[in-house]
Structure 1
Amino acid sequence: MKLIGALLILAASSWIGLEVSRSYSERIRQLRMMKSALQSLEAEIMYGHTPLHEASRKISKQFVVPIQILFDCFSNKLIEREITAKQAWEESLKEIWPKTAMKNSELEILLQFGETLGRHDLVQQQKQIQLTLTYLERVEREATEKQQTYGKMVKSLGVLSGLFIIIILI
């Protein structure tokens, strides 16, 4: 009976360590997807001269959750309601944000991007997208450094915590 309990404790603590480590990797994956989505948005706007709602709909079909949901929600809000692109972007971000692995720093960057969305001519809009991509690139580098630094440590800490608890209980 003690052996089964010890194995359950070890499995649970190891699983917690793996999940925390996975969240670091998931954040990086979502940041990369967001950068790709913004690059696609730039291409649709600049070279396809596609309206914002239509470009967002196309982008939502190219990506997976949560980026897909963000752009789909944004497109729907632009079509269904008489609100500005800024308001639609902010509402869409707030709806999907709890479903992402991204942090508040990324939210601030994307909210700042939303401030200028749909307000400028094509060249200015392109510059705003490039600026946002630069910020996201910096955040991605920081997230990668954190993942490399803490990813293995958190996994090991999960296993070692389980072993420590087992030793104390036995």
Structure 2
Amino acid sequence: MVRALGAALLIAGGLGAGWCGASALDRRVRSLRTFCAALETAQRELSLRLLPMPELLSLLSRQSEGQAGAFFARCLADLPSLGSRSFARIWGDALEGVPLDLNREDREILAQAGRVLGRYDGAGQEAALELIRLRLVRALEEAEERRKSGKKVWYALGITAGCFLAIVLM
């Protein structure tokens, strides 16, 4: 009886580990979607109203949910130090300081936005943000494809590992 309970717990633990791996894929897709929407909003606001950076960051922090909202709020909070640090450095520090469910390539794409914002005229910023947003959309599409196949792999791997441990330890 105790062995059967132990085996069931090992299998459930393996399934839980697989679920954690699969949920990481979901979180990355959700985060990329949020940042794509935020960059689209930024692009639209810069093209239509040419908002100053504090107002733009405030708008993005209010409209974005989850980690993206926290990221833009951190940029806004660090904005008073703009004289001693560049905006690209403030943006980069926020990318490093705020926990984001993004991989290194995704972060590099977002870092490019920090190097563009506030540096060029409205049309230049708009064009650069469009290119960055398109790169993020491609990363999102790739992440969605990886999620579809990866979730099944994580679940199967978790159950298989749990079953394997249950068999070996019985």
What TM-score do you get using the length of structure 2 for normalisation? Answer: 0.93
CA 1:81/1:114 → structure 2, altered by over 3 Å: closer, same or farther? closer
Which whole-Å CA distance do the structure 2 matches of 1:68 and 1:89 have between them? 13
| 2:167 counterpart letter in structure 1 | I
The residue aligned with 2:92 is 90
5+ residue gaps, structure 1: none
Deviating 4+ runs (over 6 angstroms): none
Matched positions, count? 168
| 1:18 counterpart letter in structure 2 | W
1:39-91 per-position Cα deviation (integer Å, ceiling 9, x unaligned): 11112222122211111111111122210111001111113552322121111
The residue aligned with 1:72 is 73
Question: What aligned pairs does 1:31-50 form with structure 2 within 5 A after superposition?
Answer: 31-50=32-51
1:24 paired to 2:25: yes
Which whole-Å CA distance do the structure 2 matches of 1:63 and 1:115 have between them? 21
Deviation at 1:156, TM superposition (A): 1.5
The residue aligned with 2:146 is 146
What TM-score do you get using the length of structure 1 for normalisation? Answer: 0.93
Q: What percent of counterpart residues are identical?
A: 26
User: Contact 1:78 / 1:84 at 8 angstroms: preserved in 2?
Assistant: no
| 1:116 counterpart letter in structure 2 | V
User: Contact 1:53 / 1:76 at 8 angstroms: preserved in 2?
Assistant: no
Which whole-Å CA distance do the structure 2 matches of 1:76 and 1:43 have between them? 23
| 2:15 counterpart letter in structure 1 | S
Which whole-Å CA distance do the structure 2 matches of 1:169 and 1:60 have between them? 51
User: Contact 1:45 / 1:52 at 8 angstroms: preserved in 2?
Assistant: no
User: Contact 1:89 / 1:114 at 8 angstroms: preserved in 2?
Assistant: yes
- Is the deviation greater in 114-123 or in 2-11? 2-11
5+ residue gaps, structure 2: none
The residue aligned with 2:117 is 117
| 2:157 counterpart letter in structure 1 | L
1:119-160 per-position Cα deviation (integer Å, ceiling 9, x unaligned): 100000000100101111111121112111211111111012
Deviation at 1:166, TM superposition (A): 0.7
Deviation at 1:93, TM superposition (A): 0.9
1:12 paired to 2:13: yes
